[in-house]
Structures are given as C-alpha cells and as structure tokens.
C-alpha cells in the first residue's frame, strides 16, 4: 500500500534540495572532479551515478545513461547503515539498549541449552559484526526458509566469544531488523519514514522482505541516489538536519568511529576498522558501502560527501580514484572561478553513458534471418522458440518459453528503455530494462540487458548459421548470476 505521506515528502524534498554551487566556490577544482570521472571510465569501472557535496552544497552530479539519478537503485549493503540508524532511533526511544542480549528479545527461538557464547551475544555485537560466528550466517537463513530466520540464526554454532572476532555477517543485520520490527510493531521502512526519511525528504524507498514479511535489513533497500547523499550529510552534521536533531546526540559519532578491528591486510580501505554498520576508510573518512560499488563516502575533515551507484566488482578501485584525484583537491578556501574547466565538467556530467555494444547496426545476414522462427532443443531454462524482428533502429526478440511469450527490444547502437518479463519468474512483475544491441560479426548479434532497478548486465549472443542458431547467455557484474549457458536451435521446417 502506498505511503500516504509520500506526496508530502516529495513536496518537502523539492523544498530541501541541496543548494547548487560551483566546485571552485567550495574550494575544489572542477578539473579534479573531471579527472576522477575520466579515471573511473579509463579503469572500465561501470558507474551509474554520482553526487558530490561540499559544505552542504551540491557541486557536481551525473548519471550514466540509461541510468538516472531519480530512479531507485539497488543498494545492497548500504542498507545496513539505514538499519543502524534505525537502531539509534530505537535506543533513543527506550525500545532497547545496545547492551541487551539477543536472546532476551527472542526467547521463543532460543535453543533449549544456549551455549555461553550465544547467551553473551548482545545488540552491540550485531552492530559491530562481532557475533562470534566463524563465517557469515546468511546462507543458513536462506537454506532453512521453512522456519523463522531468527530461530535459524540462534541455532548456529558461535565459535568465539562475542565482541572478540570480526566476521562480516549480513545475517546479524537481519537480526537487528527483526528485533526493530518486533519491538516497534511496524515494518522497518514504516518505522523509519516519520523518524528519518520524511523529515529529510528521502523518497522512493522500498525494502525487500523475506517470506515472513520481515525486512532483510542487511540488504534489499532501494533508493534514488540523492537519498544516499542526504544520509551521508546527516552523519557529517552529527545527526542534525535543517537544525533538527534527527539522530540521537552522539549516535553519528559512535556509529562511524572505529569500534572493532576488521580485516588486517585484506585491502587498504577494508582494514581501517568497523563501526556500527559503517566502515572506516583511509584519510580519516568513513563510508557505507554495498556490493558492486554502492557508496556513501563521508570525509569529515574536508566537509565532503560523495555517493556512487555502480555495477563493478573492484570496489577498492573506485576508492583509489577518489583518494588520488578528488581528496587532494579539497582545499580550505574558495578558488578563483574557472569557467572553461567548469563548462568542461558540466558537459561531461550531461553526456555520461554506460558503453553500448560495439559493432554494426546491421549485417548482410540480418534480412535473411528476420522473421524466421527457430526452435530450441529441450533445455534447462525452458526456452522453446525465438524469432528475430529487425525494425527501424532496433531489433525485437520474440521468445516463447514454458511460461508463455515475452518480447525483448534493443536499440541498435543505443540504449532502448522498455519493459519485459525476461529474467523474471513466470514473466510476473515485468521489470524496467534498457537494452542495446549490435552485429559484432556478419552472423552474430549481441544484446546487453540492464534491469534498471537492479545491478549488472545480462548478455545474449545469437550466432546464426545455415538453418541453425546458437544462443549464448552470459553476465557481467551480477551477484548470484545465472549460470552461463549455450542453447542450440534449428530453423522451423528444416
């Protein structure tokens, strides 16, 4: 059911947009921001959007087409920092204390004889990822979906004394979400709306749940990029927004300081310590981050917030470009205006593009295979037939599988937005996609498919031969990606 406050929140959000400024007016060289953007692209790092704030002013932003700043984007583990914020609010309201034991809030799910380590586990241990588990407990939750996740979590062996051993554990964050929903009597997102989201004008939020209807907590939140920037600015300001203390006094500082050691020698920005669902960074910074390059990077010494949505595996590479190009350019005083550099940056931000498939928009073979129906051999994904239709500036695949018919349209040499059931169970709840295609050879058509609310690219490669076709499916920058496969089809009537 839509939130009745959403229209009011949107109106309030419009009033509260970050004031615009130039980089130079806030002590940053436009050229340095441009160098960072160019370096990210030269490293082949697929960024979908960014926003840079300095001293509370928005100095640069942009989205790589076909993505946009307004569309909600999957955040993965950035969700954890919103869950942490909810814990801080609940503590201030007296719903719980971080020194509470986990078992006292889930007595019906406790083992008959809890181990001493389990009995000692506290809310603080959930927050700091020091539950005492040897590995992340998320997989057991999915594998035991027939019973409450809290029960499964509490059944797992706790090998170390809580508070002494860091293991990144998304299941621990889910337990925080389950605890908050239990104590507040509300879904986590509804608990956050009047306390955090609506006062700050954060709109467009959705949070995936498990089969019990409990927010996943450690992942599953989707938001437009500006919502991330607002949370980062809130923490930079000590929990204060527009003169109002949103987070309880001291929570922002406690949540973002080093509470525990994490992964020595794991990687530069993954060995700086961990707070309450926030990571410490080099250079006195801290961040919320999520898989495949979702970031809220807060630089307190410089008064700056930088956010990214992305689709990439090498997250350290993004941070390296920030420290190399942007951080040294954050000066203490305004710079002289530089109209030419500013215009170059603005032009860059207005023409950002996720690379399209490289190739030709047609081939000599295209006319011969257009309108032909190809039947697949029996296969694991249930594809039965495919027909290619070549249109002005685009191609359309008409595919039948065991669930029915669906279409997939792609721009030739350009992204084409649309809706499709491709990649959704039984074609239910068709998703918004952007698809591009090109002939990478005389007999080969390649399509790249981006589900715009999710992260990562599915790739289909169709190779046509005399009376036959091979369809190859692969993926790029997708978590839990479907298995690559090659399907064989023959021309109907052959």
Domain with CATH 2.40.128.20 in the chain: 366-491
Compute the distance between CA of residue 413 and CA of residue 56 in angstroms, rounded to an integer: 39
pLDDT at 341: 98
Instruction: Compute the radius of gyration of the chain from its Cα atoms.
Output: 25
Q: Could you tell me the fold of the domain covering 366-491?
A: Lipocalin (2.40.128)
Superfamily of domain 6-93+173-350: DD-peptidase/beta-lactamase superfamily (3.40.710.10)
For the segment 187-213, the average pLDDT, to the nearest whole number, is 97
How would you classify the pairing of strands 206-207 and 73-74? unpaired
Of 319, 322, 342, 340, the C-alpha closest to 330 is: 322
pLDDT at 418: 93
Q: Using CB atoms within 10 A of its CB, is residue 13 exposed (0-12), middle (13-18) or buried (19+)? A: buried
pLDDT at 81: 98
Q: Evaluate if residue 8 carries a pLDDT over 70.
A: no
Cis check: omega of the bond before 66, within 30 degrees of 0: yes
Compute the distance between CA of residue 445 and CA of residue 470 in angstroms, rounded to an integer: 11
For the segment 326-352, the average pLDDT, to the nearest whole number, is 98
Structure tokens at 376: 């697949």
C-beta separation of 269 from 286 below 8 A: no
How would you classify the pairing of strands 221-223 and 373-376? unpaired
pLDDT at 4: 42
Percent over 70 (pLDDT), the chain: 95
Q: Could you count the other beta carbons within 10 Å of the beta carbon of residue 265?
A: 7
For the segment 363-385, the average pLDDT, to the nearest whole number, is 94
Banded model confidence at residue 480, pLDDT cuts 50, 70, 90? confident
pLDDT at 431: 84
Q: Evaluate if residue 9 carries a pLDDT over 80.
A: no
Residue 74 host element (H or E): strand 73-74
pLDDT in tens, 255-288: 999 999 997 656 689 999 999 999 999 999 999 9
Q: What is the mean pLDDT of the chain?
A: 93
C-beta separation of 60 from 33 below 8 A: yes
Q: Using CB atoms within 10 A of its CB, is residue 259 exposed (0-12), middle (13-18) or buried (19+)? A: buried
Q: Evaluate if residue 1 carries a pLDDT over 60.
A: no
For the segment 413-427, the average pLDDT, to the nearest whole number, is 82
C-beta separation of 456 from 446 below 8 A: no
Q: What 8-state DSSP symbol labels residue 163? A: T
Compute the distance between CA of residue 431 and CA of residue 252 in angstroms, rounded to an integer: 36
pLDDT in tens, 75-97: 999 999 999 999 999 999 999 99
Q: Could you count the other beta carbons within 10 Å of the beta carbon of residue 493?
A: 8
For the segment 186-214, the average pLDDT, to the nearest whole number, is 97
Compute the distance between CA of residue 306 and CA of residue 310 in angstroms, rounded to an integer: 13
C-beta separation of 396 from 389 below 8 A: yes
Residues contacting residue 238 through CB under 8 Å, at least 6 positions apart: 247, 249, 252, 253
Q: Which residues on adjacent β-strands are paired with residue 47? A: 310
Q: Could you count the other beta carbons within 10 Å of the beta carbon of residue 46?
A: 23
pLDDT in tens, 36-71: 999 999 999 999 999 999 999 999 999 999 999 999
pLDDT at 426: 63
pLDDT at 491: 95
For the segment 173-194, the average pLDDT, to the nearest whole number, is 98
Dihedral in degrees, nearest 10, Cα atoms 66, 72, 74, 77: 140
Q: Evaluate if residue 187 carries a pLDDT over 80.
A: yes
Contacts 24+ apart (CB under 8 A), 360-368: 360/438, 360/439, 361/393, 361/412, 361/413, 361/438, 361/439, 362/390, 362/412, 362/439, 363/439, 363/441, 363/442, 363/443, 363/445, 364/442, 365/442, 365/443, 365/464, 366/390, 366/439, 366/445
Mark residue 371 as left, alpha or beta (left: phi above 0; alpha: psi -120 to 50; beta: remaining): left
pLDDT at 424: 64
For the segment 323-344, the average pLDDT, to the nearest whole number, is 98
Q: What 8-state DSSP symbol labels residue 69? A: S
Q: Evaluate if residue 2 carries a pLDDT over 60.
A: no
Least confident of 178-187, 310-319, 453-462: 453-462
For the segment 157-184, the average pLDDT, to the nearest whole number, is 98
The order of strands in the sheet holding 221-223 is 73-74, 221-223, 206-207
Residue whose token pair is 């006195």: 284
Banded model confidence at residue 371, pLDDT cuts 50, 70, 90? very high
In angstroms, the Cα distances linking 412 to 90, 238, 361, 426 are 52, 49, 5, 27
pLDDT at 427: 65
Q: Evaluate if residue 14 carries a pLDDT over 50.
A: no
C-beta separation of 315 from 293 below 8 A: yes
pLDDT at 404: 87
Domain with CATH 3.40.710.10 in the chain: 6-93+173-350
Backbone angles phi, psi at 353, to 5 degrees: -150, 130
């Amino acid at each position: 059911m839509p939130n009745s406050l959403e229209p009011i929140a949107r109106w309030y959000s419009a009033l509260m947009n970050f004031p615009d400024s130039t980089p130079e007016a806030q002590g940053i060289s436009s050229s340095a921001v441009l160098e960072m953007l160019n370096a990210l692209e030269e490293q082949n790092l697929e960024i979908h959007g960014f926003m840079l704030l300095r001293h509370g002013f928005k100095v640069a932003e942009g989205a790589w087409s076909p993505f946009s700043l307004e569309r909600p984007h999957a955040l993965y583990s950035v969700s954890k920092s919103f869950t942490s914020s909810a814990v801080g609010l609940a503590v201030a309201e007296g719903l719980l204390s971080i020194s509470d034991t986990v078992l006292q809030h889930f007595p019906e799910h406790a083992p008959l004889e809890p181990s001493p380590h389990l009995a000692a586990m506290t809310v603080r241990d959930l927050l700091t990822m020091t539950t005492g588990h040897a590995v992340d407990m998320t997989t057991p939750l999915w594998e035991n979906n027939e019973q409450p996740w809290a029960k499964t979590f509490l059944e797992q062996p706790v090998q170390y004394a809580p508070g002494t051993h860091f293991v990144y554990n998304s299941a621990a964050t889910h337990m925080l979400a389950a605890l908050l929903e239990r104590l507040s009597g509300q879904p986590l997102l509804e608990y956050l709306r009047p306390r955090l989201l609506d006062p700050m004008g954060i709109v467009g939020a959705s949070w995936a749940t498990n089969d019990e209807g409990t927010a996943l907590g450690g992942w599953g939140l989707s938001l437009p990029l500006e919502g991330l920037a607002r949370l980062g600015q809130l923490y930079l300001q000590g929990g204060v927004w527009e003169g109002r203390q949103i987070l309880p006094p001291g929570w922002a500082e406690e949540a973002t300081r080093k509470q525990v050691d994490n992964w020595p020698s794991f990687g530069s920005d993954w060995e700086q310590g961990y707070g309450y669902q926030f990571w410490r960074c080099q250079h006195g910074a801290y961040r919320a981050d999520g898989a495949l390059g979702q970031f809220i990077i807060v630089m307190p010494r410089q008064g700056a917030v930088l956010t990214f949505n992305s689709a990439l595996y090498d997250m350290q590479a993004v941070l390296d470009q920030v420290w190399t190009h942007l951080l040294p350019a954050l000066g203490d005083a305004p710079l002289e205006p530089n109209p030419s550099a500013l215009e170059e940056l603005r032009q860059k931000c207005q023409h950002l593009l996720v690379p399209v498939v490289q190739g030709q928009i047609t081939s000599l073979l295209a006319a011969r295979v257009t309108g032909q129906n190809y039947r697949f051999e029996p296969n694991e994904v249930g594809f039965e037939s495919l027909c290619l239709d070549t249109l002005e500036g685009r191609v359309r695949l008409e595919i039948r599988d065991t669930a029915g018919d669906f279409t997939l349209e792609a721009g030739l040499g350009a992204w084409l937005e649309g809706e499709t059931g491709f990649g959704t169970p039984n074609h239910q709840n068709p998703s918004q996609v952007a698809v591009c295609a090109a002939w990478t050879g005389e007999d080969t058509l390649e399509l790249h498919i981006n589900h715009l609310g999710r992260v990562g690219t599915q790739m289909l490669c169709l190779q046509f031969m005399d009376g036959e076709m091979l369809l190859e499916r692969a993926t790029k920058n997708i978590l839990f990606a479907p298995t690559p496969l090659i399907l064989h089809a023959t021309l109907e009537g052959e």
